[in-house]
Chains A and B, each alone.
Chain A
């Protein structure tokens, strides 16, 4: 199975002990790694998630992230850009178009590299996917791997 990962999932891969109440999402996100799953990290999502890590730890975190089995970075390249341009224009009251553009770039990377779904812990992204009529399954880790542990 080929899955693309959103910023929120990458955040949970980076952070072992997140804020109280988010432990189950962290466990489910980390449970995605392994098996024969191929996990694609779109470059816009990588940029967002690494920006949270303190500067002095960023390079080591990036290196360790890419040593996870099955994880590979996919570029927002020319074909992904053309794919993003073809996605439906989205208008949501509480989100600016500029912010939605990053979501569309992540969808485009997933589509361009043939992902079967986009894994996210962010409900907003699911709403944007519906509004943009993206032909991709978008949802939490348990949508794709139902047997994942809910708590670690």
Chain B
């Protein structure tokens, strides 16, 4: 079977296998093999370490035929076409390269630079939005309202006296909340929440009762309605 010999050079001032240390070199080779295997859709067992060139850190890897496409993808860098699995397989290599300030080159004959994307940014997002949640506690010395929000988890929000008094009768009730939220850009977790206003959310019903009310609400409208046709025309 055809195989590909791929050179992958990691460079930094004065970097040799000796200055890097063999355990660290082993880690570099492992994450490189995992990245190529993930990009090419083959197993890391199919990646063989053939040689490490003396003087600088250039592992020579033996890859199966699919390795050609994997190497091309790695040399191009992430694109929108990459699947989540492919991104995940390359991230440990990128993290190691970024953390150590290496430059990376790759090629079968001529070595070319491999672009390493910057680390995922940790900007914060600010948004005004509506959330649904259940009020679990309000008031007390800290002037906080504890809310269990759909899709967001439990959050403690600082509220003023007037808002606390307005919220108090709705303890353990579902509420629609108008909020200003600050989220962590990387994880999406709410870091800070300011409650603007709220209104009681309609209670959840059994499926049968809810559909009865829904049918009552829409009345005779919808009899013979072409849902699929309308959905296609809407687009």
As a 0/1 sequence over residues 127 to 146 of chain B, the CB contacts with chain A under 8 angstroms (1 = contact) are 10110100000000000000
CA distance A86 to B117 in the complex (A): 15
Residues of A within 8 A of B226 (CB): 18-19, 22
Chain A: interface size category:
35 or more
Q: Are A57's CB and B125's CB within 8 A?
A: no
Q: Are B222's CB and A15's CB within 8 A?
A: yes
Partner of A14, one of B126, B188, B218, B229: B218
Q: Are B125's CB and A122's CB within 8 A?
A: no
Q: Taking the nearest CB of chain B, how far is it from the CB of A80, in angstroms? A: 10
Would A64 and B210 be within 8 Å (CB), given that A18-B225, A79-B183, A103-B235 are in contact?
A: yes
Residues of A within 8 A of B218 (CB): 14-15, 53, 57, 60-61
Interface positions, chain B 123-181, Cβ under 8 Å from A, are 125-127, 129-130, 132, 150-151
Would A11 and B214 be within 8 Å (CB), given that A67-B204, A88-B81 are in contact?
A: no
CA distance A60 to B183 in the complex (A): 33
CA distance A135 to B203 in the complex (A): 34
Q: Taking the nearest CB of chain B, how far is it from the CB of A93, in angstroms? A: 14
Q: Does A17 contact B (CB under 8 A)?
A: yes
Q: Are A17's CB and B222's CB within 8 A?
A: yes
The total of Cβ contacts below 8 Å across the A-B interface reads 138
Q: Are A67's CB and B130's CB within 8 A?
A: no
Q: Taking the nearest CB of chain B, how far is it from the CB of A99, in angstroms? A: 4
Q: Does B215 contact A (CB under 8 A)?
A: yes
Q: Does A130 contact B (CB under 8 A)?
A: no
Residues of B within 8 A of A99 (CB): 235
- Nearest-CB residue, chain B, relative to A124: B232
As a 0/1 sequence over residues 191 to 224 of chain B, the CB contacts with chain A under 8 angstroms (1 = contact) are 0000000000111111100110111111101111
Would A7 and B231 be within 8 Å (CB), given that A17-B224, A18-B225 are in contact?
A: yes
Q: Does A48 contact B (CB under 8 A)?
A: yes
List 24 A-B residue pairs with CB atoms under 8 Å apart, sorted by A's residue number: A8-B231, A11-B225, A11-B230, A13-B214, A14-B214, A15-B218, A15-B227, A18-B224, A22-B226, A33-B211, A48-B231, A52-B230, A57-B218, A60-B217, A67-B203, A67-B210, A70-B204, A87-B80, A99-B235, A100-B235, A103-B235, A113-B151, A121-B228, A122-B231
List 12 other contacts, CB 8 Å, given A48-B234, A87-B80.
A7-B231, A8-B228, A11-B225, A11-B231, A13-B214, A26-B227, A57-B221, A66-B202, A89-B80, A122-B228, A133-B81, A133-B83
